Structure 1
Amino acid sequence: MNREIICDRILQAATELLTEGGREAVSTRAVCARSGVQSPTIYRIFQDKQGLLDAVAYHGFQSYLAAKAALPATDDPVEDLRRGWDQHVEFGLANPALYTLAFGEIHPGRTTRAAALAAASLAERVRRIAEAGRLRVSEEHAAHLVHSAGRGLTLTLIELPEEQRDPALSPLAREAAIAAVTTGAPAAGPGDRVTAAAVALRAALPGRDVLSAAERALLAEWLERLAAPGAPAA
């Protein structure tokens, strides 16, 4: 049988078990029984149970992000970030076992492939805001703050009994995070305008070949310093 078909059967079986009974339900024996595949095949494809669980989380987020990417972007990148936040939280609450598998286990210096995939999608949305001149911090700071706030909020809501979840909590956290990293249109004060301009120019650098590699690196360093939190106003 085709390896891809076998892999899909295993992932489907593991995902069903995860949804029904959580991480502990995804034993090699249970996956074999559900998928009709022998355990040596699972180990050959995924190496071990952790490899299988990582693949399950990655597969689930691939499907989610593909559907998310199919939605057309608007002319307002900040509104698109807001919409992306809401979709992220909704996905987590609809798929708590999968979300917890991807984001709930912390390993210093290491992230799951699913979390990295979600972070890349967020970074692209933040890049659009930077290109519009509406970030008050660097792209990296903005992405990390929004990612941390969204993940923490979603895990908190998952942990709470459904009847105790305050529907106002997610919008409140979302707007606080967005306000912390974006400016209005246009940026408010001189410091904000310098930061927004530096961030926007830095975001546009990769697509320009007028400068040499050394010149681009130097300019990027200057712009990063101007975009850093606490940088003096012009």
Structure 2
Amino acid sequence: MSNTGASNTGPSNTGPSNIGVTEQEPAVSAPTATATEAGSRGPWWSSVRALAVVTVLAVVAAVTFGMLWATDDSAEQLQALQSRLDTEAEAEAVASDYALNVSEVDFRDLDAWRAALTDGVSGQLAPKLEGAVDVVAPWLTQMEYIADARLLAAEVASNDGDTFVVQVFVDMISKSKQTPDGVAATATYTVTMDRASDWTITDVGGVGTGLPGGAGEPEPAPAPADGGR
């Protein structure tokens, strides 16, 4: 009877040993599954990353080239604009100086006014302006006319090649026997110039406006008498 109890005790130790082996099987198989998943993802992910890098580099290159092209084009446009503005400013300065000088009138020195009218003008225009002085001078002397001027504005109205037309606005204060306290008026001049001949003035409009005697546009020089031929 005592031997039978001993033999029953032996087999009971075998059960716990089998249970321990079964619990260790999932721990052995888990690393194998992870290695398989990483191996199958590796090549696909590398391809995606390579494609992304190539795309980014292409975009950067395109943007850089576009910026360089735009910068070069903008520089040329800016240079052309600056050149045009400089030329227009020069034309406006010449026209403004002329308009101011011819707006300064003093009946005691009409020769100075005559010189101002013909300064910088073409040979074809000078006789017409001198004729205007001859027409207006008697009224200026009789009324003791004096005028001071101040520049208001000047602007290029049109441009065709080397021909520039500038409008000049001058504020004039004139005094005479009839208006000893002075009268304010705005004179508008249209000055046409040729840049190719160093800004020679080829035509002027507005000279004499508001002067005594009803002078408006410059009158042409009178035709010579038959005896003067």
Name which structure has the greater RCO, CA cutoff 8 Å, separation 6+. Answer: 1
Please give the TM-score of this superposition, normalised by the length of structure 1: 0.25
Structure with greater Cα Rg:
2
Please give the TM-score of this superposition, normalised by the length of structure 2: 0.25
